[in-house]
């Protein structure tokens, strides 16, 4: 969360973004949606954007490099560098914006957005439904 120092200056002391969603599907199937190129292209990315998987090396140390094209044909790139994969329970990765060669770049919408973000994604199944929770924090190596 951002803490206000005064009325005109905001300094981010610590922040964590947590997103959770329940899917009406078993955990193994939901996990595959993150692990297979064909599945990722069908759903990953911003609303109304077309995603193309350029590279998916789904293993610790591997990279997921993708492009997204907006309805007005603007294109941006992103990547994950996987740190830990425990199927079908958890995926840990460093997320960043990228150029088409996979080099990390600043977010196109904000010069103060973290260059890299550490994300821990967990998959929990209960009664045939799967809850995916992503916890993300700025990553400073």
Domains and CATH numbers, the chain: 17-138 (3.30.530.20)
**Coil, helix or strand at residue 100:** coil
Maximum separation of any 2 CA atoms in the chain, in Å: 49
Distance (Å, whole) CA 86 – CA 121: 10
Q: Is the pLDDT of residue 10 over 60?
A: no
**pLDDT for 109:** 86
Tokens 């088409």, residue located? 100
End-to-end CA distance of the chain: 21
The pLDDT tens digits for 51-95 are 999 999 999 999 999 999 999 999 999 999 999 999 999 999 999
Tokens 């958890």, residue located? 90
Side-chain half-sphere exposure of 35, counting CA atoms within 13 A: 19
pTM of the model: 0.86
Alpha-carbon separation of residue 22 from 26, 29, 132 (angstroms): 11, 13, 6
């Amino acid at each position: 969360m951002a803490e206000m120092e005064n009325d005109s200056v905001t300094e981010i002391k610590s922040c964590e973004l947590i997103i959770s969603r329940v899917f009406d599907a078993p955990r193994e199937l939901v996990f595959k949606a993150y692990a297979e190129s064909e599945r990722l292209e069908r759903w990953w990315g911003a609303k109304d954007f077309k995603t193309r998987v350029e590279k998916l090396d789904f293993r610790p140390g591997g990279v997921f490099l993708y492009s997204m094209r907006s309805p007005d044909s603007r294109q941006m790139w992103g990547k994950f560098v996987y740190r830990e994969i425990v199927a079908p329970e958890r995926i840990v990765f460093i997320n960043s914006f990228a150029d088409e060669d996979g080099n990390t770049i600043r977010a196109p919408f904000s010069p103060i957005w973290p260059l890299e973000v550490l994300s821990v994604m967990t998959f929990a199944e209960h009664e045939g439904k799967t809850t995916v929770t992503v916890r993300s924090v700025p990553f400073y190596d």
